[in-house]
């Protein structure tokens, strides 16, 4: 009798459930471990973010990701005008639109008054880890750069700065920070270089084994590039470098299997290039150095699919090559990746929670280089948040680096690259139909043997 009663009750519940589905009542019962989707959407509408709420309601897979657990998250919420400005090639493509929405959701809490001061950034990882759009080590979510400058707090992108336009509001475990322009989903390293008009480095890369080195960089799951300005490349090529040295020189600007955002530069102190040399960072001078060649950092944290780009004012023209040392550094860094940890990084990125470290088998510093190649256990946390003391961005080439970018959202050439790139001009570098920058005719033959050595380091 008891069993019959229980079975009857279950059948009644099942029938009620089917009825609820048929009538759409379950639309109001979208409960997740992290909260109620309808509460989040209503919270957005209550704060004049109706267009975002409408888009999210049409893409429940995104709200499911946001509310899949009860961890703290930060939603950088494009306002109605920003949603209206999304290009049609984004809004008409469901997967790209969902990727764009997920790029706006950061794991953890980001207190705006504790963000790093521009031109440094506070870096957070988003929920966007679809391999079609993000190729970071361990499947980590794509990065977003935040910063403050005076009384302004903004999302920093290579061509756009999005200011926070309203006060934050908390909905369940989600902190909502409205912004005035949607964030771009970054392209590959080489696409980003071309779009930003970095024709000098793009041409050099394209001429190494007919673009093989460029393709290799784009295939890396994790890369940091120090990119000289066009003027710096022009001055370098005017010295008529030996063509067989070009791959090695380019390798000095690449760190394979590491994604070293600006807070980690300060935290780490030194890196090992894809040519096997120590790249030494000097926070007080705002410079990087390889051998006898030094460059000032003009702009940090240009986000790309595979990693990050920092712009510098000089070519690190060392021709020293140590393939064994480079291979060991790359292998050590790759071994440091913990996929489970990488996909759950919460809050500002620092030396304690970075996707990768130098690893535990990092080569010892080269004698006389001044490097301090710390192991994974030696990472500190000096620049996790609130770092304001750095000479980064104060170079003489490029109007004080990126400083003007933070101060004037309508300014041009604010990033100091000398290429005519405009920050804050609303250009969307995700656009697959955007005009590519023209390339200079710098035909440089490369030694197949030496180029193969460089490629072997980064494959």
In 3D space, the residue among 138, 106, 187 whose CA is nearest the CA of residue 433 turns out to be 187
- Separation of alpha carbons 24 and 356, rounded Å: 46
Q: Give the C-alpha separation, 341 to 426, whole Å.
A: 35
- Hey, CA dihedral for 354, 177, 33, 172, is it positive or negative? positive
Strand ranges inside 93-150, DSSP E = 105-107, 122-125, 143-149
> What's the pLDDT tens digit per position in 228-244?
999 999 999 999 999 99
Nearest C-alpha neighbor of 139 from the set 300, 24, 305: 305
Residues making up the chain, counted from first to last: 459
* Cα–Cα distance measured from residue 210 to residue 157, given in angstroms and rounded to the nearest whole number: 30
Residues near 441 by beta carbon (within 8 Å), at least 6 away in sequence: none
In whole angstroms, give the CA distance from residue 373 to residue 365: 6
CA–CA gap between residue 294 and residue 181 (Å, rounded): 36
Least-confidence region, from 122-131, 204-213, 312-321, 434-443: 434-443
Q: Which fold has domain 189-458?
A: FAS1 domain (2.30.180)
Instruction: Tell the burial category of 224 from Cβ atoms under 10 Å away from its Cβ (0-12, 13-18, 19+).
Output: buried
Helix (H, G, I), strand (E, B) or coil at 18: helix
Confidence at residue 150, expressed as pLDDT on a 0 to 100 scale = 87
Single out the residue of 206, 255, 271, 273 nearest to residue 233, CA to CA: 206
Rounded Cα–Cα distance for residues 46 and 262 (Å): 36
What are phi and psi for residue 394, nearest 5 degrees? -105, 30
- Regarding pTM above 0.85, the answer is no
C-alpha dihedral, 10 to 12 to 16 to 22, nearest 10°: 100
310 and 302 Cβ atoms separated by less than 8 Å: yes
Strand order in the sheet with 122-125: 122-125, 143-149, 152-156, 161-163
CA angle, corner 160, sides to 343 and 254, nearest 5?
A: 55
Task: Kindly indicate the confidence band of residue 384, based on its pLDDT and cuts at 50, 70 and 90.
Answer: low
Taking 90 as the threshold, does the pLDDT of residue 31 lie above it? no
Residue 445: pLDDT band with limits 50, 70, 90:
very low
Q: How far apart are CA 199 and CA 438, in angstroms?
A: 7
The maximal CA–CA distance of the chain, rounded, in angstroms, is 95
Could you tell me the residue ranges of all domains in the chain?
189-458
C-beta separation of 30 from 36 below 8 A = yes
pLDDT-derived band of residue 390, with 50, 70 and 90 as boundaries?
Answer: confident
Which residue would you say has higher pLDDT here, 376 or 205? 205
Q: Residue 19's pLDDT band (boundaries 50, 70, 90)?
A: very low
Q: pLDDT at position 370, please?
A: 83
Tell me how far the alpha carbon of residue 398 is from its chain's centroid.
23
Q: Choose among 430, 424, 143: nearest CA to 309.
A: 143
DSSP codes joined into one string, 337-404? --HHHHTT--SS--TTT-S--S-SSPPPPPTTS------GGG---TTSS------TT--TTTTSTTHH
> How sure is the predictor about 33, in pLDDT bands with cuts at 50, 70 and 90?
low
Q: Is the peptide bond before 342 cis (omega within 30 degrees of 0)?
A: no
Q: Is 322 helix (H, G, I), strand (E, B) or coil?
A: coil
Residue 385 has pLDDT above 90, yes or no: no
C-alpha 397/C-alpha 153 separation (Å) is: 26
Per-residue confidence (pLDDT) for residue 338, from 0 to 100:
96
Cβ burial of 169 (10 Å; 0-12, 13-18, 19+) is: middle
């Amino acid at each position: 009798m008891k069993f019959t009663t229980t079975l009857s009750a279950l059948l009644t519940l099942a029938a009620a459930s089917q009825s609820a589905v048929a009538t759409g009542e379950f639309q109001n019962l979208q409960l997740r471990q992290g909260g109620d989707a309808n509460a989040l959407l209503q919270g957005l509408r209550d704060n004049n973010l109706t267009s975002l709420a409408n888009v999210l309601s049409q893409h429940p897979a995104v709200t499911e990701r946001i509310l899949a657990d009860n961890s703290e998250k930060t939603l950088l919420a494009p306002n109605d005008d920003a949603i209206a400005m999304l290009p049609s090639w984004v809004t008409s493509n469901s997967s790209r639109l969902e990727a764009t929405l997920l790029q706006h959701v950061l794991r953890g809490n980001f207190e705006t008054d504790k963000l790093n001061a521009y031109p440094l950034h506070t870096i957070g990882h988003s929920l966007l880890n679809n391999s079609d759009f993000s190729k970071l080590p361990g499947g980590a979510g794509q990065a977003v750069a935040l910063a403050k400058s005076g009384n302004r707090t903004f999302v920093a992108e290579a061509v756009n700065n999005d200011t926070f336009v309203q006060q934050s509001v908390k909905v369940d475990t989600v902190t909502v920070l409205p912004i005035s322009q949607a964030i771009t989903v970054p392209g590959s390293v080489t696409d980003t270089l071309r779009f930003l008009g970095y024709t000098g480095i793009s041409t050099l890369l394209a001429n190494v084994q007919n673009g093989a080195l460029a393709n290799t960089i784009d295939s890396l799951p994790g890369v940091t590039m120090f990119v000289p300005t066009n003027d710096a490349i022009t001055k370098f090529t005017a010295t008529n470098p030996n063509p067989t040295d070009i791959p090695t020189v380019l390798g000095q600007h690449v760190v394979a299997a590491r994604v070293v955002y600006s807070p980690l530069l300060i935290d780490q102190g030194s890196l090992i290039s894809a040519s096997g040399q120590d790249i030494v960072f000097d926070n007080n001078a705002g410079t990087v150095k390889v051998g006898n060649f030094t460059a000032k950092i003009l702009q940090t944290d240009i986000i790309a699919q595979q990693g990050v780009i920092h712009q510098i004012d000089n070519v690190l023209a060392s021709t020293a090559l140590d393939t064994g040392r480079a291979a060991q550094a790359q292998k050590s860094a790759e071994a440091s990746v913990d996929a489970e940890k990488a996909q759950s990084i919460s809050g500002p990125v620092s030396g304690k929670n970075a996707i990768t470290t130098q690893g535990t088998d990092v080569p010892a510093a080269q004698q006389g280089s001044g490097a301090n190649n710390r192991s994974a256990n030696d990472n500190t946390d000096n620049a996790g948040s609130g770092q304001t003391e750095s000479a980064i961005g104060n170079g003489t080439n490029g109007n004080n680096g990126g400083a003007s970018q933070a101060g004037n959202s309508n300014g041009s050439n604010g990033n100091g690259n000398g290429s005519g790139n405009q920050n804050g001009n609303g250009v969307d570098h995700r656009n697959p139909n955007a005009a590519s920058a023209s390339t200079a005719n710098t035909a440089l033959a490369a030694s197949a043997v030496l180029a193969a050595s460089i490629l072997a380091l980064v494959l």
